[in-house]
Amino acid sequence: MAELKDKLILVVDDEARMVNFMRMNLELEGARVASASNGREALEHAREDMPDVVLLDIMMPGMDGFETLRRLRQFSQVPVLILTAKSEEDDRVRGLELGADDYIAKPFSHRELVSRIRAVLRRHYAAPPVPQTMVKVDERLSIDFARREVLVAGQRVNLRPTEYRLLYHLVQNAGYVQTHEMLLTKVWGPEYREESHYLRLYITYLRQKIEEDPAKPKYILTERGVGYRFVDFENKA
């Protein structure tokens, strides 16, 4: 399990209260915290301190979070979580497209903050470089991608080719939101980027086949305005 202990986390936000709130929460978990109140400082810190994770506020005066992220990505692959207002769905999509790893919507709880950071750390430092075959999600659901076999409550369910590819991409990124565009691009091809219709339909099909109650999905979660996220089944703490 990925631990926050002794990890260096760079918090970037122009509001001192928010920085303090996060610092408190993160230090409670044993993490070290560096902070910056604008984009320029953030880039300096990122270069010099080599943080393990960056928490980046989008709404900042001067160089905003997007621009900061874009420049950061020119020299660093450090995992980045962006902080957005609850309602700003477009900001999340844009951030993810610029290379953010995930987002946290303000306001957020201690639990949410820590769990997202853990997930991102796990992927970056413990992630298998080879794609997973044979995934056991929980007692009810397991998938063998090499054999194209999906077992739900002991029963084999038959997935169609597109359903299969969609599930594959969702599960390979379990715990991470995948935007509509990402999924459409990977499953149907780049020329389908705008056709979110297809995606909704195939999400429905998949849920009907693998969810216990398709109306209350436990595996394939909707991220309104952004995309879908397969449940973070490896991070149950």
Partner DNA sequence: TCCGCGTGTCAGATTATTTGACAAGCGCGT
Partner DNA sequence: ACGCGCTTGTCAAATAATCTGACACGCGGA
Binding mask 36-75 for DNA (x = CB under 7 A): ----------------------------------------
Nearest to residue 52, comparing CAs of 21, 27, 79, 89? Answer: 79
Binding partner of residue 146 among DNA, a second copy, none, CB cut-off 5 to 8 Å per kind:
a second copy
* Residue 50 contacts a second copy per CB under 8 A: no
* Residue 191 contacts a second copy per CB under 8 A: yes
Count of C-beta atoms within a 10 Å radius of residue 112: 12
Q: Interacting stretch for DNA, rule CB under 7 A, among 20-28, 70-78, 94-102, 161-169?
A: 161-169
Residue/partner pairs of 22-28 with CB below 8 Å, 24 or more apart? 22/55, 22/113, 25/110, 25/113, 25/114, 26/113, 26/114, 26/117, 28/110
Among 222, 232, 233, 234, binds DNA (CB under 7 A): 222
Q: Are 67 and 102 in contact (CB under 8 A)?
A: no
With a CB cutoff of 8 Å and minimum separation 6, the contacts of 212 are: 140, 218
Among 61, 128, 154, 190, binds a second copy (CB under 8 A): 190
CB of 97 to a second copy, least distance (A): 18
CB of 229 to DNA, least distance (A): 11
CA angle, 9 then 13 then 19, to 5°: 65
Q: What are the residue ranges of helices labelled H in the chain?
A: 16-28, 39-49, 65-75, 89-97, 110-121, 161-172, 180-187, 196-210
Among 47, 70, 136, 197, binds DNA (CB under 7 A): 197
Footprint (CB under 8 A) of a second copy, residues 26-45: none
Binding mask 122-151 for a second copy (x = CB under 8 A): ------------------------xxx---
* Residue 155 contacts DNA per CB under 7 A: no
* Residue 218 contacts DNA per CB under 7 A: no
For the chain, the distance separating the N- and C-terminal CA atoms, rounded to the nearest angstrom, is 9
CB of 37 to DNA, least distance (A): 26
Report the sign of the C-alpha dihedral through residues 87, 88, 90, 96, in that order. Answer: negative
Q: Residues in the site for a second copy, rule: CB under 8 A?
A: 146-148, 189-191
